[in-house]
Structure 1
Amino acid sequence: MEQKNFDVIIIGGSYSGLSAAMSLGRALRQVLIIDSGLPCNRQTTHSHNFITQDGEKPAVISAKAKLQVDLYKTVHFYSGLAVKAVKKDNGFEILTESGEVFNCRKVLFATGVKDLFPEIKDFENCWGISVLHCPYCHGYEVKNEKTAIIANGEMGFEYAKLISNWTKDLRLCTNGKSELTLEQTETLNKHGVQIFEEEIDSFENQDGYVQNIILKNQEKITVKAIYAKPPFEQHCPIPETLGCDINEQGLLKVDAMQKTNVAGVYASGDCTTQMRSVAIAVSTGSFAGAVINKELTDEDF
């Protein structure tokens, strides 16, 4: 790519990054999107709870978005991995894995998170297909089905309460000794939630669609859907190397304007919130783009 200097570089070209780029492109800003092509929902079969796109395949949404953003001639795309960012007096220098260097006044991280899967055979193969993280995104499609939750303690209790709105045919797998209080256990039992403490060995599945949970004692739990919230880490380590704060959940800390604690650095989408959905990623990206344009305008006026 011949052009090396931009108003804004967006690292991450999925829903949030593309949404920010549209805001900035419509504001006539010179924008570069650097994207490595690995969205965290790449295995998810359908996206839901996003008006006008309900039930659409995530890849179709992002492809259509990219085509629309590409119509704005001040927005440019670079396929590759950003590996380093250096703060300069007048902005930032971004280095890619292939050795190219780009400069910008502001940088937006829309880089998502990387899920850290448990040591359960075929968990990863089922993730986003029948092992789900969000009932608002996928609960309607498995309503009233045999469902399991993999969680423990307070999180397991609250998760079971929430999911019971979508199905009463529910079991809680603590994947080891239960950390529920006696009162929580009694409440779940009263509501018909079965509790299994045996560790999980694997999932029997067909092309990612779970059929049985196999416990380490070889007991089978027949289910059609599983909810789980595995731990995660930031997909991109660059914000931390720039000095951006991470909150106790492991997310980039931003204020109400999508600003990090480092001047000129913004973040949006899944890397900033536990509410992981396409709709929220689009919303925060669009807002971040408008905020960044306002900051650039104020600096130049």
Structure 2
Amino acid sequence: MANVNLGLVRNEPVELEIDGTKRLWDIDDPQLPDWIETGSFSSGGFPYEKKLKREDFEPELEKLQIELVKAQFWMQAKGKRVLALFEGRDAAGKGGTIFATHSYMNPRSARIVALTKPTETEAGQWYYQRYIHHFPTAGEFVMFDRSWYNRAGVEPVMGFCTPEQYETFFRQTPRFEELIVDDGIFFFKFWLDIGRKMQLKRFHDRRHDPLKIWKLSPMDIAALGKWDDYSKKRDRMLKETHTKDAPWTLVRANDKRRARLNVIRHILNTLDYYGKDKDAIGKIDDKILGFGPDFLK
């Protein structure tokens, strides 16, 4: 798609250290550098050389979406509740994965929650309070596009919380999530992981696509040089909040198509709904989806 002048403030070139080499990168340059283009798909140790072909992806996705409709009927009949949160670096594909899951579900009982920064009132409440307000009632399937795990990543990296608040989060979160599961909610935590060069490529794609430019925020630009800090925060988050009650499901997401299929398969495998077609669901790709912090090592 042709680049369009949207009246954006020009971004200054950023010096990045990639694979031990310092490089100056200008995201406003419409030409994507070769060092990003050639290494993006394999970055972060991605296990495949090419993305899944569209002609293989779309029929599989349709079968899974049919199963999701079946699962939703079961949830409504039995009063079951599903809560799924999606976390990951900026441009990891959270929104697209949520959209693929939600597309053909009844919107009256399948909701997406994407909260903005806290209001003054919310900032004065218990940290989890504004999230609890959006939890599912009987028969509902609720997906969080980012969640209370902001306090484990972006907030400490960008200085939006105090060290004390950060430490309190790790004391309280496992107990909080144990209560969610103990109340009978099916609770999923997905971390979508991408390589650094893939993130840069997706940022560049957003910057030069007038239909996607809204996805690129000043916060994304400010975080460009903080990859290592985000990695350390991610590693601690996974280590301290991966529990028996609320395990982390890790998804290698350089290939959006493989990521989406395996996320939906995992959800469907967990729910014991009427008319479940295991052949339609297919098998989890254990190169793409795994559990706990060791999966990314």
User: Shared fold (TM-score greater than 0.5)?
Assistant: no
The answer to which structure has the higher helix fraction is 2
Q: Which structure's relative contact order is higher, taking Cα pairs within 8 Å and 6+ residues apart?
A: 2
**Larger Rg, first or second structure (1 or 2):** 1
The answer to which structure has the higher strand fraction is 1
TM class by shorter chain equals under 0.3
